[in-house]
Amino acid sequence: MAAKKKRVVLTDPRAIRALAHPARQRIIDELYGGKVLTATECAELAGLTPSATSYHLRALARWGIIERADTSTDGRERPWRAPALSLVISSQSTRAGRLASQAMLREKVNRVVEQFEEMPDDDPWDELSLMANTRLWLTKPEAETLGKELTELIDSYRRGRTAANHPATTRQVSTLLALVPAGKPSEQS
């Protein structure tokens, strides 16, 4: 199998709209987390029928967001996978881009909140849980640099590890990165 691309970057508003469905976001999250899943497994995750899920999977594949993986050992059902390590929405200047970004962000924030709620009180990793909210005053170039550096830092921790291939001592850790300009831009920016 060829090495995966680093990112799938979506710029087409129609492709971005394909992300708006919550079931699709749940499936994308798992596939981009390194899992390879059949339509039936995706249906269980999304709470949909396998036929409804197959429709969503084909729609995502049409835009290159996901792709077919190698055929399963029994040959009856071909699984799906992410074609890259991450998915980036680049066209946020369009209404569709902003709406898809907001829908994805809501889903991601809700999932992280659920993970906080699901963590047992006696979890030995509880002390490592972190939620931070910081306001910074940055120039546009500084904000661009911050976003790039944070993305590179997170990417450096991937180290080629996936849901199927990681050391036994590791544990899945969710990260959520949002860089959101607030207020109106200054006259000079």
- pLDDT above 70 as % of the chain: 91
What integer is the mean pLDDT of 20-46? 89
pLDDT for position 52: 94
pLDDT for position 139: 92
**pLDDT-derived band of residue 4, with 50, 70 and 90 as boundaries?**
low
Q: How far, in Å, CA of 135 to CA of 154, rounded?
A: 20
Vertex 110: Cα angle to 23 and 95 (nearest 5): 65
pLDDT for position 77: 75
What integer is the mean pLDDT of 163-182? 85
DSSP bridge partners of 8: 87
pTM of the model: 0.69
The phi, psi pair for 16, rounded to 5°, reads -65, -40
Which of 24, 40, 31 shows the shortest CA–CA distance to 67? 31
Query: 12 burial class (0-12, 13-18, 19+ CB within 10 angstroms)?
Result: middle
Q: How far, in Å, CA of 38 to CA of 75, rounded?
A: 12
Here the tokens at position 183 are: 């207020």
Reported as a single tens digit per residue, the pLDDT across 118-165 is 999 899 998 888 888 889 999 999 999 999 999 889 889 887 788 778
pLDDT for position 87: 86
pLDDT for position 74: 61
Please measure the distance between the N-terminal and C-terminal CA atoms of the chain and give it in whole angstroms.
Answer: 46
Which of 3, 45, 13, 51 shows the shortest CA–CA distance to 28? 45
Residue 5 has pLDDT above 80, yes or no: no
Q: How far, in Å, CA of 34 to CA of 165, rounded?
A: 9
**pLDDT-derived band of residue 40, with 50, 70 and 90 as boundaries?**
very high
pLDDT for position 61: 95
pLDDT for position 33: 84
Reported as a single tens digit per residue, the pLDDT across 68-112 is 998 656 666 789 999 998 888 776 667 767 777 777 778 778 888
